[in-house]
Copies of this chain bind each other. A is one copy, B any other.
């Protein structure tokens, strides 16, 4: 059964999982401190860096395992709002987006897909979380769906009870402002089993697994 998984979602002590304003210069909206302990080079495997294999890296490396499609919010693709300008923008990743699968970008403004040689295809889709998930599942060939963020998309999928697995890492920083993850999700823990561990870097990792219905 195809699961919906969130990986490597970082949150500050004060509950923010992105900055307020995404710009071309600040892809993560001024929330850089969230990513200071993240090693994005290992999302395809711990062997991709000549660095110690830490528990942090091991957990980060689950990102690509058995994933057949990604869903992301529009701001993870680019800082534009409203109608898409004719600016040639193809995302933050230039010619090598790391996804290598179909990617469904949630937007009210549909447009033609963008296809890359490495298997990444950006689809721009308008619809509810559930509708977009159906499209992603159809494209994923029976594999899992990664919900790639940002926090607003994750919150929406959590509210609709569509998330099967969530790897969250609490970063020992305070941001003061940004996009909150937990708003309007009171009692969310009742639907999940939750394992927490701390690592030497100061991160606290939580693995949230949705409880099977009836259990």
Contacts and interface: CB of A to CB of B under 8 A. Distances in A.
Interface of A: 1, 3, 5, 45-48, 50, 52-55, 58-59, 61-62, 65-67, 143-144, 165, 167, 193, 195, 197-200, 205, 207, 209
A215 to B, nearest CB: 11
A46 B65 contact: yes
Contact residues of A: prevailing secondary structure: mixed
B47 A144 contact: yes
Contact of A66 (B47, B65, B205): B47
Given A199-B197, A207-B53, A45 B66 contact: yes
Given A3-B47, A46-B66, A47-B65, 5 more contacts: A47-B143, A52-B193, A53-B165, A54-B195, A55-B195
Nearest to A48: B66
A54 B207 contact: yes
Contact of A197 (B52, B61, B197): B197
Contacts of A209: 52-54
A200 B194 CA distance: 10
Contacts of A197: 55, 197-199
Given A143-B47, A197-B199, A199-B197, A205 B55 contact: yes
B66 A207 contact: no
14 contacts: A3-B47, A45-B65, A45-B66, A46-B62, A46-B66, A53-B207, A54-B195, A55-B59, A55-B197, A55-B207, A61-B65, A195-B199, A197-B198, A197-B199
Nearest to A209: B52
B195 A1 contact: no
A193 B200 CA distance: 12
